[in-house]
Every structure is written in structure tokens, then in C-alpha cells.
């Protein structure tokens, strides 16, 4: 019955006027891991990863969903990354979002969660409001490396703003927050990876629907059989393994019953490269604007 509900909702959305939201993925660094670390039962082979920010543009305003790696990432890592975690969390050729955006004003940043590779660029946008749930704000206040880096989140002048969800169901999630009031960008709670993790649904004028799921999964390979991360990765990264597993099972069900919905993990290079990177926008003609960073092109 749930699959029928999802299908009916997607069909009703498709019948509405095309929304005005645009989405671009800003690749701020490359990375890699072993497949067996990213997903239980994965291969020993290397798995390409990316660190991205998501630019969402709407007539009512623009926002970033996460920041990726920022201009001060090297110093932040030197200050707060434990020696034992560093070898597993290497990155290459950082290219901060603020550099690629070249002066573009970003009024609002919404965090999928507050881990180091998603908030590194907050210091690059001192005029932006940073939206988090109260649960994630508490996690930030009490967290320690390697989950929370004080050099990233305990420095002024971050303009924190806590928000709440409305009792409005959205595609199987009992709570949601419609950011622009037209169904084009909708947040849902996804507690597990961190206490205040959230996902972002976007619906483009092309008709494509994207679901940005943060780090609930690191690769869409996890959707085949609802696989968790490896045992080691779960200990390192997931705040609540059981709650994360529940979220993964729901994603796997959605992927099976709604193949028209594109699920986008925050670090899945294979998925994101098909969508393209800023200055290109998803499902729009290629931009004539040159990339300001070598890593910003697929």
C-alpha cells in the first residue's frame, strides 16, 4: 500500500506546474576508499568518492545544502583530525565552494549533518544563516573529533538557526519542511547517521526528482539489499547504527518502488558525475561559464 501512495503522490506532483527550482552539484574535493569499507560486502577495489555542496536556486532565494571542504580545511584537519582517523579520510585537490561561486551571495546554508567534511566551508560564508535541527545543534555542542571539529563549528561568527518540521507527510516520511511552499525543495528528518541528519527532496522543471540523503549511505550500492556500511565504518561514522539501518531499509524500498526517484548520496562519485558539476546545472544545457577549479568538471 505504501508503494501505491508514493506512486500517486509522484503522479500528482508531475501534474502540477513545473517548479522553478534549479540544482547544481559543487564538487569541492575528490577522495577514495575501498568498496568493502563503504558498504558491507563491498569489493576490495577502490571506490571513487567526492565531497560536494549542493546549490539550490529558486526565485525566492538560493541556498547551499552542505558546504563540502572549505578554504581552511587543511588547517582544520591539522587542528582536529585524530592521527588514527586521518589515513581513512584523505582528500585530494580541494576546491572550495566559495571560490567556485565567485562572490555569489548565499543567504542560507542547510546542513544534512555536521560532520567535518560537510561543514568545513561554513567559515567561508560568514553572512549566511546556518540551518540545523535542535537535535543536530545539541550534537554539535557536545561532539568531539572525529565527528565534530571545534575549528569548524565553535568559531564566530556562525549564524546558527534552529528549525522544526511540520506534521506533513512526504513520500513516506511523517514530518517534512517545504522550503519554498511549492514542493520543489522539501526537507525530511533522517536521524541515525547523526541525531539531526536530514534529507532534501528536489523536483526540477525537467520532471526529475532528486533525493539528497547525506551520509545515510555512502554509495547507492547499499540500496541493493539495504546494506549498511562496513563494521569499521559504522563504528567511526554512524551515531546510531539501528536508526541508520532503518533509514537504509526505507531508502532501499523507495529505490525499488520509485525508480524514477534519483537517490544521491553525498559522496557517491558515480552518481554525481552523471548529473554533472557546477557551473553546469542538473538537466540544463551546458554552461558557457568556465570552471574555476579543475575538479569541478566530471
Q: What are 180-184's contacts with CB under 8 Å, separation 24+?
A: 180/21, 180/58, 180/60, 182/19, 182/20, 183/13, 183/16, 183/19, 184/19, 184/20, 184/21, 184/58
Q: In the predicted model, is pLDDT for residue 1 greater than 70?
A: no
pLDDT of 156 reads 79
Give whole-number Cα distances, 52 to 55, 71, 265, 273, in Å.
10, 14, 10, 11
Chain length of the chain: 298
Respond yes or no on whether the N-terminal peptide bond of residue 157 is cis (omega within 30° of 0).
yes
Give whole-number Cα distances, 186 to 22, 172, 233, in Å.
13, 13, 29
Q: In the predicted model, is pLDDT for residue 4 greater than 50?
A: no
Q: Quick one: three-class SS letters along 159-173?
A: EEEEECCECCCECCE
Q: In the predicted model, is pLDDT for residue 92 greater than 80?
A: yes
Average pLDDT over residues 113-120: 98
The predicted model scores a pTM of 0.93
Kindly report, residue by residue over 11-21, the tens digit of the pLDDT: 445 445 557 79
Give whole-number Cα distances, 166 to 9, 13, 60, 115, in Å.
18, 19, 20, 25
Q: In the predicted model, is pLDDT for residue 291 greater than 90?
A: no
The packing angle between helices 241-257 and 2-14, to 10°, is: 60
Nearest partner of 258 among 169, 171, 170, 168, judged by Cα: 171
- In angstroms, the CA 236 to CA 194 distance is 12
Amino acid at each position: 500500500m505504501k508503494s501505491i501512495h508514493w506512486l500517486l503522490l509522484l503522479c500528482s506532483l508531475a501534474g502540477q506546474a513545473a517548479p522553478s527550482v534549479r540544482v547544481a552539484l559543487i564538487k569541492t574535493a575528490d577522495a577514495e576508499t575501498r568498496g568493502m569499507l563503504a558498504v558491507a560486502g563491498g569489493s576490495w577495489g577502490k571506490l571513487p568518492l567526492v565531497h560536494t555542496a549542493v546549490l539550490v536556486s529558486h526565485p525566492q532565494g538560493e541556498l547551499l545544502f552542505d558546504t563540502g571542504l572549505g578554504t581552511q580545511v587543511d588547517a582544520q584537519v591539522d587542528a582536529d583530525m585524530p592521527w588514527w582517523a586521518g589515513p581513512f579520510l584523505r582528500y585530494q585537490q580541494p576546491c572550495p565552494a566559495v571560490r567556485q561561486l565567485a562572490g555569489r551571495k548565499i543567504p542560507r546554508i542547510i546542513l544534512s549533518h555536521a560532520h567535518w567534511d560537510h561543514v568545513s566551508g561554513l567559515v567561508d560564508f560568514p553572512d549566511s544563516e546556518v540551518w540545523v535541527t535542535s537535535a543536530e545543534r545539541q550534537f554539535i555542542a557536545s561532539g568531539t573529533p572525529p565527528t565534530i571539529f571545534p575549528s569548524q563549528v565553535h568559531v564566530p561568527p556562525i549564524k546558527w538557526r534552529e528549525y522544526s518540521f511540520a506534521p506533513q507527510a512526504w513520500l513516506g516520511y511523517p514530518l517534512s519542511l517545504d522550503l519554498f511552499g511549492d514542493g520543489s525543495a522539501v526537507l525530511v528528518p533522517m536521524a541515525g547517521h547523526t541525531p539531526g541528519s536530514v534529507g532534501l527532496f528536489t523536483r526540477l522543471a525537467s520532471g526529475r526528482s532528486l533525493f539528497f540523503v547525506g551520509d545515510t549511505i555512502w554509495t547507492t550500492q547499499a540500496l541493493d539489499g539495504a546494506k549498511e556500511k562496513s563494521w569499521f565504518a559504522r563504528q567511526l561514522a554512524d551515531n546510531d547504527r539501528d536508526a541508520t539501518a532503518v533509514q537504509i531499509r526505507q531508502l532501499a524500498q523507495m529505490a525499488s518502488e520509485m525508480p524514477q526517484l534519483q537517490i544521491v548520496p553525498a559522496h557517491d562519485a558515480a552518481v554525481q558525475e552523471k548529473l554533472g558539476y557546477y557551473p553546469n546545472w542538473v538537466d540544463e544545457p551546458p554552461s558557457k561559464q568556465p570552471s574555476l577549479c579543475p575538479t569541478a568538471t566530471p
